[in-house]
Amino acid sequence: MISTKLLLTLTLAGIFMVYYMFLTPIKIFNIFCEEYITMSVTLTSAIVFLYYKRKLKGKEIFEFIPNSNYVSIKSSIIFFLLFEVVDYYTTDGFMGMISLWFTYWVFGLFAYFMTHNINFYKNYKTYQ
């Protein structure tokens, strides 16, 4: 098991290193610009996350959604490899495959915030 925060941090660093080695700065910029909708939804969920975190400060947080802070390394690697095989054959090979990594990372970050937001919301309703 690995902390979800640590996994997201390490994968973002890995994505930037691979992008820096294999893609041009213009291509990297275009990848980020293409994800403006997903990034804005993720930013909105992050703001909601911070709101609930502030509202529930000092209160005991019950885990309505179990295991939201840790994920299995084995299942993460298996999902990653499965997606990579599919992406390699459905996009432009290696370059198309790595171009989708940032998209997957943003969706992972969104899933992290949403699971915690649901948990925070249920805790918030419990305390009211």
DSSP β-bridge partners for residue 71 = 2
Whole-angstrom distance, CA of residue 55 vs CA of residue 40 = 23
**Confidence at residue 110, expressed as pLDDT on a 0 to 100 scale:** 96
Residue 32 lies in a domain: yes
**Confidence at residue 29, expressed as pLDDT on a 0 to 100 scale:** 93
Whole-angstrom distance, CA of residue 22 vs CA of residue 94 = 10
Q: What is the mean pLDDT of the chain?
A: 90
pLDDT at 19 over 90: yes
pLDDT at 117 over 90: yes
Residue 60 lies in a domain: no
Q: Give 51-105 pLDDT, tens digit per residue.
A: 999 999 988 888 888 777 888 889 988 988 998 898 888 888 888 888 889 999 9
User: Which string of b and e fits 98-111 if b means at least 16 CB within 10 Å?
Assistant: bbbbbebbbebbbe
The residue among 4, 2, 1 whose CA lies nearest residue 116 is: 4
Residue 116 lies in a domain: yes
Whole-angstrom distance, CA of residue 81 vs CA of residue 16 = 19
Residue 61 lies in a domain: no
Inter-residue contact 117 to 50 (CB < 8 Å): no
Residue 15 lies in a domain: yes
**Confidence at residue 105, expressed as pLDDT on a 0 to 100 scale:** 94
Domain holding 39, by residue range, is 2-54+70-127
Q: For the chain, what is the domain count?
A: 1
